[in-house]
A and B are shown apart, each in its own frame.
Chain A
Amino acid sequence: ETGVTQSPTHLIKTRGQQVTLRCSSQSGHNTVSWYQQALGQGPQFIFQYYREEENGRGNFPPRFSGLQFPNYSSELNVNALELDDSALYLCASSGVAYNEQFFGPGTRLTVL
């Protein structure tokens, strides 16, 4: 069974740039959720994708967008980066029958 993977591990961008983060879900899982975790805080829900459709969104502006592909992998895109976007971005996959979410190791984004 393959776990959740994310790429890249670390990323440094400057304010105003755009970034794409990638996530491969665990085998057999069709739901991917993205979370933002600022330093010293708990993860905040960004959005969730189920079978390639957005299935709920947290309190994040439209410059945070995503995609899910037919193989259930996913991308998180952030446009017009701001300093406050610096955080650990986590993706998690889940199967149909369970609420347990399996998290990837995260991508550490630094915006300068």
Chain B
Amino acid sequence: SQQGEEDPQALSIQEGENATMNCSYKTSINNLQWYRQNSGRGLVHLILIRSNEREKHSGRLRVTLDTSKKSSSLLITASRAADTASYFCASDMVDYKLSFGAGTTVTVRA
């Protein structure tokens, strides 16, 4: 079973627009991470936010974490065609074992 769920399942936006996706998880976590996957290949680590952090930025990415609601959001600003991919949140249970959601597929139209 999967710990997290992403919402929406799919997102289509115009280049230059912002993309926001949400993630909910079920149990307490140490950290929450976001990954990107292009065309069914390996996952690329985007950002890690610790359970005692509320917001984190990395370049065009902004992640928030609300442990009281067991939810996180990923915002990609000024999207580009290269941002077209599937995005997964992964909750870190213990000892680096990650539990992934089913992902959000983002399509950026030129």
Q: How far is the CA of A88 from the CA of B103 in the complex (A)?
A: 15
Q: Which residues A8-57 have CB closer than 8 A to chain B?
A: 31, 33, 35, 37, 39-45, 48, 50, 55-56
B contact residues around A90 at 8 Å (CB): 42-43
Chain A contact residues: helix, strand, loop or mixed = strand
Partner of B2, one of A42, A99, A101, A108: A42
A contact residues around B44 at 8 Å (CB): 103
How many of chain B's residues have a CB under 8 angstroms from any CB in A? 27
A-B contact count (CB 8 A): 72
Q: B86-110 toward A: CB 8 Å interface, digit per residue (1/0)? A: 0010101011111111110000000
Q: B53-72 toward A: CB 8 Å interface, digit per residue (1/0)? A: 00000000000000000000
Q: Which residue of chain A has its CB nearest to the CB of B99? A: A45
Query: Does A66 reach chain B (CB closer than 8 Å)?
Result: no
Q: A87-102 toward B: CB 8 Å interface, digit per residue (1/0)? A: 0101010100001111
Partner of B97, one of A4, A48, A102: A48
B interface residues, Cβ below 8 angstroms from A: 1-2, 4, 30-31, 33, 35, 40-45, 48, 88, 90, 92, 94-103
Show 24 residue pairs from A and B whose CB-CB distance is below 8 angstroms, ordered by the A residue: A31-B96, A35-B100, A41-B102, A41-B103, A42-B4, A42-B90, A42-B102, A43-B43, A43-B100, A44-B2, A44-B100, A45-B98, A55-B95, A56-B94, A56-B97, A99-B33, A100-B33, A101-B33, A103-B35, A103-B45, A104-B42, A105-B41, A105-B42, A106-B40
